[in-house]
Amino acid sequence: MRILSGIQPTGELHIGNYLGATKNWAELQAKHDCFFMIADLHALTTPQNPKEFSKTTLSKFIELLAVGLNPEKCIIFIQSHIKEHAELAWIFSTLTSLSELERMTQFKDKAKKQHTNINAGLLTYPTLMAADILLYKTQGVPVGKDQTQHLELTRTIAKKFNSTYGKVFWEPETLLVKEGAKIMSLAQPLKKMSKSDTEESSIGVFEEAQSIQKKIQRAVTDAGKEIKYDPTKKPGISNLLTIYSLFSDESLSQAEKRFKGKEYSVFKKALADLLVKKLEPLRKKKEKLESRELYVQEILHQGRERAQSIAAATMEEVREKIGLLKA
């Protein structure tokens, strides 16, 4: 199956991103034809610092390599390096009604959050996302629940194009991540972990051991002493158990048994030690990659070339179907 997924370049990866997306990507590349993208054009719907933006984009590229994406097994590229994304997004915008875009839950949510900057990009975001996916004849897209509505619209756009101009695009499947798709904040366990919240609410994938230990020690727990998975009554402990389960490759019930009758402090120490053990190799790999600038640039160049050849072929087919005059 051909698979595509992307991540915005803003903020360092935290363990919620890792468990919900990039760890899964590293596993998918072994079995499928995978494309992974740094979505820098999408990030422009929020104001970016021009002096820092290219640095954060390159840093995100290095982070993806550090967590296990292998350029020999997948294609990793920067969205803005492939001009066909923007071209196809414009064509899709002519097939998408205003009402379809206004219905998008994420548009409504983002418009509330940045009410002083409700730019047109927030509204047309889904047509660019559809272009990202369909440009590579993608068959499956791993997404969280918050992106399923966008993927439904992507399928609608593919269907509209194919019925109007002739078959070009697949209607891609939704590949929902079953576990770890929603890791909660350490400080507010009823709220999803986010890099935009307070520093204490999340743990970075490349964070130092001492910092990880402090954050786990301070993580919010619940009333009572029982270490039990119950998201309704014990959201704090349930979140920490989920993190332990996913990093240890133990089931939740196995994790519960391991810490039955133990104090919260014992469980937290074990979780902190586990995270340090699992994340330290990733931190060291990132440091090594940061010192190998030419190597990273070569991978970046190869990714762009490979993605470009496929994107160009698709757009040639699209232009011919639409009837655009050849240059």
What residues are labeled active site? 110, 192, 195
Please tell me the distance from the alpha carbon of residue 251 to that of residue 136, in angstroms, as a whole number. Answer: 36
* 238, 229 contact by CB (below 8 A): yes
Closest CA to 186 of 200, 205, 206, 207: 200
Instruction: Count CB-CB contacts under 10 A for residue 155.
Output: 19
Please tell me the distance from the alpha carbon of residue 288 to that of residue 66, in angstroms, as a whole number. Answer: 9
Closest CA to 3 of 19, 24, 72: 24
| Conformational region of residue 168, where left means phi above 0, alpha means psi within -120 to 50, and beta covers everything else | alpha
* 126, 104 contact by CB (below 8 A): yes
Instruction: Count CB-CB contacts under 10 A for residue 232.
Output: 6
Q: Which residue has the tokens 């915005």?
A: 8
* 217, 232 contact by CB (below 8 A): no
Closest CA to 176 of 136, 147, 156, 139: 147
Backbone angles phi, psi at 32, to 5 degrees: -130, 170
